Structure 1
Amino acid sequence: MKTFFKAFTYAWMGIVHGTTRERNVKFHLIAAMIVLAAGWMTGLSQLEWIIIIAVIGLVIAMEFLNAAVERVVDLVTQEVHPLAKQAKDLAAGAVLVFSIASAIIGIIIFLPKWLM
């Protein structure tokens, strides 16, 4: 049971590191605060809140995974290697794809409320 709870400590350390040291995570957290404020002001439904919170959580989780891929690649090789670059680019691309999808979801949810 001790190792089970220790895993939460390590996870929390990762969250603290990501939120305090990763520039893109900070950007997404600021964007999340703006979206949450907009949701509060527009009176989102329960389903809309679930979608918004899930999307925010997934974008931030994707940023954490992107940072982890970057660290592992840097740990494996310090030299510029085409495969290392591809790994980093693919991880960053995954975040970008989901961020664009998240923005579209946000437009679908918020635009009708702003046009009323």
Structure 2
Amino acid sequence: MLMVKSQHNAWLHATASILVMLVAAFFRLSPGEWCWMVIAIMAVWTAEALNTALEFLADVASPEFHPLVEKAKDVAAGAVLISAGGSVIIALLILGPYILKYVSQVK
């Protein structure tokens, strides 16, 4: 769990992952819906792990500032952002109807 200890965004991903899984469990998603949720969460964690590994390697390879290393880190961080954005869309598509139905019944 070096990633969670060393990367602030990993804490955000962990919190979001737990929250989404709790909401999904509350609404008793179908197995197919669970599959999509797990794939989305795994995509974010995989991108975050690769980003963290690239950052560690880049820091060792080039301890001094180098503009190309900075660009590589930015691209890797962008991959995390893309996967997180896609995961949010998947979560909204799956959980959105459940949440709307629940909110309309509470009123």
Which position in structure 2 is the counterpart of 1:64?
49
TM-score w.r.t. length of structure 2: 0.88
Identity of aligned residues (%): 35
Which position in structure 1 is the counterpart of 2:28?
43
Which position in structure 2 is the counterpart of 1:19?
4
Residue 86 of structure 2, aligned match among 73, 90, 101: 101
Contact between 2:40 and 2:86, CA under 8 Å: does it hold in 1?
no
Alpha-carbon RMSD: 1.1
What is the one-letter code of the residue matched to 2:33? E
Residue 77 of structure 2, aligned match among 89, 92, 97: 92
Q: Does 1:114 align with 2:88?
A: no
Unaligned runs of 5+ in 1: 1-15
Q: Deviations over 1:14-49 (max 9, x none)?
A: xx2123332211211111110000001111110010
Bigger relative contact order, structure 1 or 2 (CA pairs below 8 A, ≥6 apart): 2
Aligned length: 101
What is the one-letter code of the residue matched to 2:24? G
Indicate the larger mover: 22-31 or 81-90: 22-31
Q: CA separation in 1, counterparts of 2:95 and 2:24?
A: 8
Unaligned runs of 5+ in 2: 102-107
Which position in structure 2 is the counterpart of 1:34?
19
Q: 1:21 to 1:80 in 2, by over 3 A?
A: closer
